[in-house]
Chain A
Amino acid sequence: MTSSFLHPSLILIAGALLLPFIQGPLRRPYLFLVPLLALGAVLANTTLTGNFGLVDFLDWQLVFGRVDKLSTVFALIMALMAVIGTLYGLHVDRAGEHMAAWFYAAGSLGVIYCGDYVSLFFFWEMMAFASVFLVWFRRGPNSLAVGYRYLLIHTIGGIILLAGILLRYQSTGSIAFDLLDVAHPGLATWLIMIGFGLNAAMVPLHSWLPEAYSEASFNGAVFLCAFTTKTAVYTLARACAGMDVLVVIGVIMALYGVIYAVMENDIRKLLAWSIVSQVGYMVAGIGIGTDMAINGAVAHAVVHILYKSLLFMGTGAVLYMTGKTKFTELGGLYAKMPATFFFTLIGCLSISAAPFFAAYASKSMIITAGFEQHLNWAAWLLMFGATGTFMYNGLKLPYFLFFGSNRCSEATWDKAADPTWNMLVAMTLGATLCVLVGTAPGFLYALLPHAVDYTPHTVYHLMETLQLLGFAALAFFLLKKYVEPVDRVCLDIDWLYRQAGRGFLWLVRHPLQWFDTAWGEAYRVVGLGSLMTVSRFWSWFDWHGIDGVVDGIARGVRALGGRVRVLQSGQIQVTLFYVSSLAAVVLVTFVVSQLL
């Protein structure tokens, strides 16, 4: 490693390996210190530009420390998230949970800083294998199965990515992790994009996300919501910027996530669907590919990590204190969890792009970039999705969780209270950053990869947003009974499998069964009848023809034998009589023939 560059992943990995040996009163300071040191390393690296941490491996040169504006902004937010996430779970005693989270963060930072596909793949897989423990550590009845499914999907994604990397290496001889030829994408480009896209939860490769994130431990979800999808957004921004298909995929993600979040009954699954939707904005921005769009995607990734982690902290506090996550088992909690309500509300306003809250500074950049590129259909649909975001996250979540009907059981209500001090401090930190970014986005814009010529604080943008949110809220309260949570689960892409299965079953039970019956009947009437007639003929022929010939010869031989047997009586005088008679006949015949 070059002396000036300090890789934050090394700090996190070393810290994780040493963690089991740090016990007692030193544990909590140590937990806080390690991610803080990683953040310090990232801050120190911001002064650098270029490639560091060059390692020769086989025929390749691996780059572990590519420092530029794009990697720096993502590394900063990921390292900050490691601090906030660890602080939130500071009271968790199980060292394994912290180790998994740190390895996971180390994987993410490794991907962000790497400059080649070999080290990228190594850190990519580290993320997958570390993060699954954050699901398993929930130790719920479904955690193990959900974790295995999560791992399986990410392993498949990893294989697709590896196939793309190998094909690209075969055709170009390069392992450099740079912008791909998105104007003329070959198979390698498609495979790499799909590999990255699976981690970004691109529809239809997204089903792992709502399932796993809603099943994760209360603090594990805070890490999960930040790292995997946003690291994938980083890789897409680095390798696939300007790839047209990403605009379409991004818009589909934005709308698909909205519809499912509106239907969802589980508060953390609602947030997971929200990730699919919000990452859709980033993917669309990357697909648009202009400087403003990339800036918007990156800015939205940064603020998304802030407000989404805040929301997962708020709902995680509800889970941690009450053990419940369903709207139909909660409600009216503002009175018992006022601080949690306050911080969650800031998260809700931030994701809704309410004026002076986080996403106000980022989402409109992507949409404006869409309009400027004359992709009006995409920009309008993203605006439509933004209204939906406010509906499910700005209104449905806080209303049915903290207000609305109180559906808590007596035990749930008794347990409900604001969580421990460290969880509140982490939420305070997240909420403060959400407000700070929304009100004074200048420091965020300064970190973006391209020069920013955009200000969100215009009168027009303010009035546009107030109208949009205000009248969407009016529609929500007028139509509230239609979004009332119900205790049902939402089928996802598996609905298609189920429909396909039902279709196959119908095919087997009706047309195929009918054909089978008709064929059987036809065979019985035509095939079997003909066969019996033919069989009867051959039976007759065998009996009367073949057997007749064979038996006739036998009978003839037997009859001749009988005659011969009569001739041979054994009496000499009879024999002499037959011989004399035969000789006389022969003689007479000879004489007559001579005379004639």
Chain B
Amino acid sequence: MTTLIAYLQARLKTVVTICLALLAVIAATSLLIDTHHAHTWAEQHVPFFWSLFGFVAAALIIGAARWFGGSGIQAPTDVYDRTLLPCEEEE
């Protein structure tokens, strides 16, 4: 398996191209399938609905996590070892 992975890594551009082609095929195929069992209007009438949903949801989650982390949730690794409060450090 490691040999196969090394082989694919050596041909990364080809792998990426194949993957993108596969995505295009999957998205195109989604137009052909029967959607009348779908639960909502959007699934039935918006083309490439789940492709768009997957991409947008992933981008939103990455953005939300980055904003959340940057707003003070991600802290230095010694944050729990600190005994001084920021104001005490200033003084």
Listed in ascending order, the chain A residues whose CB lies under 8 Å from chain B are 258-259, 262-263, 334-335, 338, 341-342, 368, 371-372, 376, 379, 383-384, 387-388, 390-391, 458-460, 463-464, 466-476, 479, 482-483, 486-491, 495, 502, 505, 509
Listed in ascending order, the chain B residues whose CB lies under 8 Å from chain A are 1-2, 5-6, 20, 22-23, 26-27, 29-30, 33-35, 37-40, 43, 48-66, 68-69, 72-77, 79-80, 85-87
Q: Which of A258, A372, A391, A467 contacts B50 (CB 8 A)?
A: A467
How far is A544 from B43 in the complex, measured between Cα atoms in Å?
A: 101
Task: Please tell me if the beta carbons of B50 and A491 are within 8 angstroms of each other in the complex.
Answer: no
How far is A473 from B62 in the complex, measured between Cα atoms in Å?
A: 12
Task: Please tell me if the beta carbons of A259 and B22 are within 8 angstroms of each other in the complex.
Answer: no
Task: Please tell me if the beta carbons of A467 and B75 are within 8 angstroms of each other in the complex.
Answer: no
Q: Which of B49, B54, B69 contacts A470 (CB 8 A)?
A: B54
Task: Please tell me if the beta carbons of B54 and A459 are within 8 angstroms of each other in the complex.
Answer: no
Identify 24 residue pairs between A and B in the complex whose beta-carbon atoms are under 8 Å apart, listed by A's number: A334-B5, A338-B2, A383-B57, A387-B61, A458-B37, A460-B35, A460-B37, A463-B30, A467-B26, A467-B50, A467-B54, A468-B54, A471-B55, A472-B57, A475-B62, A476-B62, A479-B62, A486-B74, A488-B69, A489-B77, A490-B74, A491-B75, A491-B79, A505-B87
Interface of chain B, main secondary structure: helix
Task: Please tell me if the beta carbons of B52 and A471 are within 8 angstroms of each other in the complex.
Answer: yes
Task: Please tell me if the beta carbons of A488 and B58 are within 8 angstroms of each other in the complex.
Answer: no
Task: Please tell me if the beta carbons of A475 and B54 are within 8 angstroms of each other in the complex.
Answer: yes
Task: Please tell me if the beta carbons of B53 and A468 are within 8 angstroms of each other in the complex.
Answer: yes
Q: Which of A263, A471, A509 contacts B54 (CB 8 A)?
A: A471
Closest B residue, CB atoms, query A384: B57
How many whole Å from A352's CB to the nearest CB in chain B?
12
Closest B residue, CB atoms, query A466: B26
How many whole Å from A297's CB to the nearest CB in chain B?
19
Q: Which residues of A contact B87 (CB under 8 A)?
A: 505, 509
Q: Which residues of B contact A482 (CB under 8 A)?
A: 62-63, 66
How far is A466 from B49 in the complex, measured between Cα atoms in Å?
A: 12
Task: Please tell me if the beta carbons of B30 and A263 are within 8 angstroms of each other in the complex.
Answer: no
User: Given A263-B68, A482-B66, A505-B85 in contact, is the A475-B58 Cβ separation under 8 Å?
Assistant: yes
Closest B residue, CB atoms, query A462: B33
Closest B residue, CB atoms, query A374: B39
How many whole Å from A325's CB to the nearest CB in chain B?
13
Task: Please tell me if the beta carbons of B26 and A463 are within 8 angstroms of each other in the complex.
Answer: yes
Task: Please tell me if the beta carbons of B23 and A483 are within 8 angstroms of each other in the complex.
Answer: no
Q: Which residues of A contact B53 (CB under 8 A)?
A: 383, 387, 467-468, 471
Q: Which residues of A contact B62 (CB under 8 A)?
A: 262, 391, 475-476, 479, 482-483
Task: Please tell me if the beta carbons of B69 and A391 are within 8 angstroms of each other in the complex.
Answer: no
